Amino acid sequence: MTRAAALALSAIAPLHAAFAQLGQPGPWGLGLQEGASPIKHGIAMFHDGLLLPIISVIVVFVLALLVIVMVKFNAKANPNPTRTAHNTLIEVLWTAIPIVILVVIAIPSFRLLYKQDRAVNPEMTVKVTGRQWYWNYEYPDHGGFQFDSYIVRDAAGNPAGTPRLLEVDNRLVVPVGATVRVLVGGADVMHSFFIPSLGVQIYSVPGRLNETWFQVEKEGIFYGQCNQICGKDHAFMPINIEAVSKEKFQQWVEQAKKKFAADQPVPVAVAAAPVK
Ligand SMILES: [Cu+2]
């Protein structure tokens, strides 16, 4: 790693700690959120370990060229400019080197994208439906109960002790350590299911079922938000993923089955009409 890249990394590393509050933003936050899933670790490695060093080297190189040109080849220092029009070697180099750099970036990038794309041996599936302006969660492997998840806020934007505009009434509860397949659909317009600390971002598109997965590594609440402009309350449809132990998850499932037994999905045509 170059000195510039090492400097850039050392400046960012301590600030990662500012995000330790379970995936919500913190003061002076810079860089990526602290990760809690294998995909997020892959994304952080890809960014901090590969992209940032490459970008840093290119920035320093281009800046050095600019300074050299300004100092050595200004009108005063160099009154008789050369009339060179071609240099085959340089032209081959400035074509070939960027290609090599892009290939070096592309290979791990595609590897990560394909890893994100399909769950390998998922232990359970949840179905997520984006609606104007809330989320609907369904547990097809646990009897098929489903419920809506709305933002909880007071006049100041957040009830005491909860992060601003990120709290919901019903969380998406999952067991810690389990590979959870997520099927994402849309009921009205496009939304996006986005949980930065788990490395999940997938579009919720009407008439289409998208797939992704996550595996939460520690217990806690992981905050996310809709990430596709979807109407007037786009900013007010947060996502809470609560990772609990397998035993607690089973208890929650039993309670949720009773609690949400009467909940029926809102038909798409009704949901598409203006609500509230
Ligand atoms: Cu939205």
What are the domain boundaries of the chain? Answer: 3-117, 124-272
User: What are the backbone angles phi and psi of residue 175, rounded to the nearest 5°?
Assistant: -80, 140
Cα–ligand 1 centroid distance for 130 (angstroms)? 8
How far, in Å, are 14, 112, 128, 178 from residue 41 at the CA level? 16, 10, 23, 17
Q: Which CATH superfamily is domain 124-272 in?
A: Cupredoxins -  blue copper proteins (2.60.40.420)
Q: Which residues surround ligand 1, an ion (CB under 5 A)?
A: 191, 226, 230, 234
Cα–ligand 1 centroid distance for 225 (angstroms)? 8
Cβ(197)–Cβ(166) under 8 Å?
no
Cα–ligand 1 centroid distance for 133 (angstroms)? 7
CA distance 236 to 226: 8
Q: Which parts of the chain register pLDDT below 70? A: 1-23, 264-276
- Residue 29: the pLDDT is 78
Cα–ligand 1 centroid distance for 193 (angstroms)? 9
How far, in Å, are 78, 93, 162, 190 from residue 90 at the CA level? 22, 5, 58, 47
Cα–ligand 1 centroid distance for 265 (angstroms)? 19
Cα–ligand 1 centroid distance for 276 (angstroms)? 17
The two three-digit tokens of residue 38, written as one number: 């294998």
Looking only at the bridges linking them, the beta strands covering 191-195 and 180-186 are unpaired
